[in-house]
Amino acid sequence: MKKLIATALLFTLAACTTTTGGTSGTSTSGSTSASCALVAKADAEAVVGAVTDTPVGTSAPAVSGVADSASACVYRGANGVVTIALVERSTSRADFDNVAKQVPGAQPISGLGDAAYGASAGTGGAGAATVLVLKGSKYISVAATSTSKTGDVLLDGSKTLARTAIGKL
């Protein structure tokens, strides 16, 4: 389970630091990442406002015991960032629930995938939100931050993005 948590964090961090064009490692740009195919630019813009860059995707090779494959996609805008991460691994509901409990303030979300959790935070009009969804053997993470939207608004938008993403699995 610790490997699964570390892997999800690793892919989210890797996506956030990747540059367009992929200068090294497994970095790529645009739709070459499986997770970039899950959410359109217009969907991301509905959550954080205008996206100013081409979405940046990254993928990683299989890691035995952690993930059969994984990818993340980042949509960056002047006022916010949306990251979609997809980890394909046979994950039990109990393991997924334990991963979600590691997110501060995570609460169950009904009607989204086989299981889902979400959390939001923020002050002074700026916010952040995370939604984790288990669908079959796939695990999706949607994270959004904004300097102009509250955490609750971002959480609602992240739920919508998660619904869109799981609809494309």
HEC assignment per residue over 42-72:
HHHHHHHCCECCCCEEEEECCECCCECEEEE
98 three-class SS: helix
**pTM for this predicted structure:** 0.78
* Domain tally, the chain: 1
The whole domain housing 85 covers 2-167
For 114-141, what is each residue's pLDDT tens digit? 999 999 998 888 999 999 999 988 889 9
User: For the CA atoms of 13, 141, 157, 35, what is the dihedral angle to 10 degrees?
Assistant: 80
pLDDT at residue number 63: 54
| CATH assignment at residue 104 | 3.40.1000
Q: Is the dihedral of CA 44, 49, 54, 59 positive or negative?
A: negative
Query: Which residues touch 125 (CB under 8 Å, ≥6 apart)?
Result: 147, 148, 149, 150
Confidence of residue 61 (pLDDT cuts 50, 70, 90): low
